[in-house]
Amino acid sequence: MGRPSKHYTSEAEGWSGTLRFLVKKGQKPVPSAAVADLRNAPDVSDLGSLAALNDFLNWSVERYPAKKYMLVVWNHGQGWRFQMAADASIRQMATTRRLSRSTLQDSRAASENVPHVGGYRAVSFDEETNSLWCMSDVQQSVEAVSRRLKRKLDVVGFDAGLTSSIETAYALQNFSTLMVGSEEREPAAGWDYASSFKLLTENPAMSPLELSNQLLAAYQERYGDLEMTTLSVVELSRVEAAATAVSAFADALSKVVTSERINIETARSSLVPYGAGIGPLTSIDLPSFLANYIKVTSNPDTRRSHSMPQSGWC
């Protein structure tokens, strides 16, 4: 038995649930065109389920082997979100990948005076089941398919907000060559696939980096500076050096945090956090923070350790 479905649109025959398609020219996203119908397979149709992601990746590479592979995850993204709930059972719920929006809002409202207790990064929220993928789920699945292929994926993309962070890049560095994602929230329409993939069909030999850059160009063309939109390509082979530099700076700063507190607060105070207005998110642009900090500090140890190498954000 499949779970009850909700119709979010009257277009394309008004269907909902989970179908798989081999996209062809002129094809409509209707059940009759699907190559797999998962609406009666709840274990692999819940798009916040790790089993669903694993099954999709294994099915894809087995049924449609290719020379190049790009995985794109679409939906909402949550960056690093602190858990504010006073109720330990609600905090535990977050780690089991099932946390509804209403539960999160209720726990936040009831916990105004409760200190932060940790956090999680998540993406792909199934609004019928209220489940989600933690970024560790994505890492686990991409690692498994990479080992199966005996090589890295070419691109892992997140058509979802608040996903392009050094933590996400670090998690994927051994299993994908490139990562595409946004530091900030994304407009609801997401990426402009039509423009980018039209160019791909015209030039099938296009490299993964060329395709990724085309996705960025089309995104910029679609949105311009609307809503502070961001999108970047990350060369994952360069993330290790960036992470090492961040750790060195954090170690140096932790030794003088008391004397440097005012400088840290000054450097941080002019920065607007990504995802502002949708909850207790804390992500900021690290190069901007470092640039601000170097202007106000005279501490030789932190000045020497603050410089980051070119980390591959394009």
For position 118, what pLDDT does the model report? 52
For position 79, what pLDDT does the model report? 74
Supply angle C-alpha 246, 247, 251, rounded to 5.
120
Distance CA 121, CA 46 (A): 19
Q: In what order do the strands lie in the sheet with 232-235?
A: 70-74, 153-159, 176-181, 232-235
Alpha carbon 80 to its chain centroid, in Å, reads 10
Residue ranges per structural domain of the chain: 1-44, 81-120, 241-305
Distance CA 161, CA 146 (A): 25
Instruction: Indicate the pTM of the whole model.
Output: 0.84
For position 312, what pLDDT does the model report? 44
Distance CA 67, CA 225 (A): 35
- Identify the burial level of 258 via C-beta atoms within 10 angstroms of its C-beta, where 0-12 means exposed, 13-18 middle and 19 or more buried: exposed
pLDDT means over runs of 10, the chain (314 residues): 54 81 88 91 86 95 96 86 56 51 47 49 80 88 97 97 92 97 91 93 95 96 87 96 92 92 92 76 84 91 66 42
